[in-house]
Amino acid sequence: MALDLVGTVGQPQIAERVILGQWLKNDTLRPIGLQVLKRHNFTCSNCGFASRPSKQIPHGWMIPAGLRHPGLVPSPDAKCLCPMCVAPLALNWSVISKKKKGQELQAPGMLIYCPWIIQRDLNVLASYSVAVKANCRVGRSSAIEAVVRSLDAAISALNEEVGSNTPIYRGKDSDFARSLALLPSEYYRDRSELIGALRWWPNLDYWEQQGLYWYQASTQALHKRFESILEGLL
Is 1 among the domain residues?
Answer: no
Is 185 among the domain residues?
Answer: yes
Q: Which whole-number Å values give the CA distances from 58 to 32, 121, 150, in the listed order?
A: 13, 26, 33
Domain count for the chain, please give it.
Answer: 1
Query: Residue 81 pairs with which residues in a beta bridge?
Result: 63
User: Residue 135 sits in which domain range?
Assistant: 12-233
Is 70 among the domain residues?
Answer: yes
Is 4 among the domain residues?
Answer: no
- CA 226 vs. chain centroid, Å, equals 16
Name every residue whose Cβ is closer than 8 Å to that of residue 79 and which is 6 or more positions away in sequence: 36, 40, 45, 46, 64, 65, 67
Name every residue whose Cβ is closer than 8 Å to that of residue 47 and which is 6 or more positions away in sequence: 82, 84, 85, 120, 121, 123, 124, 127
Is 152 among the domain residues?
Answer: yes
Indicate the burial class of 121 (C-beta count within 10 angstroms; 0-12, 13-18, 19 or more): middle
Name every residue whose Cβ is closer than 8 Å to that of residue 62 and which is 6 or more positions away in sequence: 37, 42, 44, 51, 80, 81, 82
Is 3 among the domain residues?
Answer: no
Is 6 among the domain residues?
Answer: no
pLDDT tens across the length of the chain (234 residues): 567 789 999 999 999 999 999 999 999 999 999 999 999 999 999 999 899 999 999 999 999 999 999 999 999 999 999 999 999 999 999 999 987 767 778 899 999 999 999 999 999 899 989 988 888 765 555 677 888 889 999 999 999 999 998 877 877 999 999 988 887 766 666 666 778 899 999 999 999 999 989 887 766 666 666 666 666 665
Is 134 among the domain residues?
Answer: yes
The confidence score (pLDDT) of residue 143 equals: 72
Q: Which amino acid is at 44?
A: C
